[in-house]
């Protein structure tokens, strides 16, 4: 098809037809894909819920603090990861970490 031979209104109409066909085929392709996915899941004995659920998607409970600053109760640490500066200062001053335990 030589588009250079079409006048402007014909090009606009062609564009609308193409966009409509793309939308129709998109719905059709998604429907086919959905059927294939469901068939594959069923062949492995999986339900839709099994496929959609993921351990990575589960929400983890925040870790509770194990240590608290004696003078500022807003400063806490879970005991995981790098020590906060206030904990390191406490230890550098010769004090025991256990003294900060909650």
DSSP string, 30-76: HHHHHHHHHHHHHHTT--HHHHH--GGGSPPPPPPP-EE-SS-TT-E
The pLDDT-based confidence of 47 (bands split at 50, 70, 90) is: confident
Q: Which of the four pLDDT bands, split at 50, 70 and 90, describes residue 55?
A: low
Tell me the per-residue pLDDT of 59-83, one tens digit each, with 9 for 90 and over.
Answer: 778 899 999 999 998 999 999 999 9
Q: What tokens were used for 2?
A: 């030589």
Does the pTM surpass 0.85? The reply is: no
* Whole-number Å distance between alpha carbons of 79 and 83: 7
* Domain definitions of the chain by residue range: 3-55, 67-100
């Amino acid at each position: 098809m030589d588009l250079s031979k079409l006048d402007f209104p014909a090009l606009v109409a062609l564009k609308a037809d193409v966009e409509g066909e793309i939308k129709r085929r998109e719905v059709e392709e998604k429907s086919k894909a959905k059927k294939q996915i469901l068939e594959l899941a069923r062949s492995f004995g999986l339900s839709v819920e099994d496929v959609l659920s993921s351990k990575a998607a589960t929400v983890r409970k925040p870790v509770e603090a194990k240590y608290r600053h004696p003078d500022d109760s807003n400063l806490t640490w879970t005991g995981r990861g790098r020590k906060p500066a206030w904990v390191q200062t406490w230890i550098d001053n010769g004090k025991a970490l256990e003294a900060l335990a909650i």
